[in-house]
Structure 1
Amino acid sequence: MENNATSNEYVRGTLKTIVLNLLAEHDRMYGYEITQEVKERTAGAIALTFGALYPVLHKLEQEGLLVTESVEVDGRLRKYYSLTTPGNEAARNKTNDLERFLEAVRLLLAPRNLVAE
C-alpha cells in the first residue's frame, strides 16, 4: 500500500489532520520523528515523504496553527514543531470531522442487507 498512488491521494487529503493530531499527542516533534511515528503506527502502510510533509508544516505555521523552535542536537540544528492554542483547537475539530467522514464512508461501503418481500 505504501507506494500505491490511490493511498497517496487519501494521505494528501488528510495530512494536515494527521500532523495536527500527532502534535496534539506529543507536544512537540521534528519532521523525521513525525514520519517515523506515522510509519510505525500504520505498520508501514503509510510512509510520509519529506516532500509531502514539509509543505504542510509550513502551511500550518503560516496559518498560525503551529510554531517552530530550533534546537542544537549533536552540533546540528533540529526544528521542532508544536501547536499553538488555535492549533490545538484545529486538531480536535479536524480529527472529529475526519472521524465523522470515515464513519459516513464506512456506511456507504457496507453491503446493504436486502430484505425479501
Structure 2
Amino acid sequence: MKKQQQLYKGSLNTIIMKLLENHGRMYGYEITQKVKEITEGEMNLTEGALYPALHKMESEGFLDVEMERVEGRVRKYYKLTESGVKETNNKLEELESFVRNMQQIMNLKLS
C-alpha cells in the first residue's frame, strides 16, 4: 500500500483538479473523502499532502477560494479558475499519455 501512495503522489494535482472539474467546488475534507470513496479506500489523501497542493495551485492561479460559514465555522471551498480548467485538460492529457505508454510497456512479451 505504501508503494502505491508514491505512485499517486505524482498525480495529486491532477486528481484534485479532476474532482473540482466534476464537482464545481469542494472543501478539503470533502476532497479527501471523495478520493477515499472512489478508490474504495485504496487511496488516502492526508491533510499534509492535500493542503500544500491546494495552496500551491491557488498561488499559481489555478484555483479560486470561497469562504462560507457552515454551522458556525468558516469553510474554504476551492474551485477551478479559467486557467485552472485549461491546466486540468493539459494534466489529463499528460496522464492519459503516461497510462497509455505504461500499458504498452506492461504488455511487452519477453523474447
Bin the TM-score by the shorter chain. over 0.9
Instruction: Say yes or no: does 1:72 pair with 2:69.
Output: yes
Following superposition, which runs of at least 4 residues in structure 1 exceed 4 angstroms of deviation? none
What residue is the counterpart of 1:91 in the other structure? 88
Distance in 2 separating the partners of 1:44 and 1:87: 27
Note the 1:53-68 alignment, pairs <5 A. 53-68=50-65
Larger Rg: 1
What residue is the counterpart of 1:101 in the other structure? 98
Amino-acid identity (%): 47
Deviation at 1:93, TM superposition (A): 1.1
Deviation at 1:12, TM superposition (A): 1.3
Note the 1:1-117 alignment, pairs <5 A. 1=1, 4=2, 6-112=3-109
Three-state SS of the structure 1 residue aligned to 2:41 is coil
TM-score (norm 1): 0.91
Q: Amino acid of the residue matched to residue 18 of structure 1?
A: I
Deviation at 1:86, TM superposition (A): 0.4
What count of residue pairs does the alignment treat as equivalent?
A: 111
Three-state SS of the structure 2 residue aligned to 1:57 is helix
1:52-96 superposed Cα distances (whole Å, 9 cap, x missing partner): 000000000010000101100000000000000000011111011
RMSD: 1.1
Three-state SS of the structure 2 residue aligned to 1:33 is helix
Deviation at 1:113, TM superposition (A): 6.9
Structure 2, unaligned runs of 5 or more: none
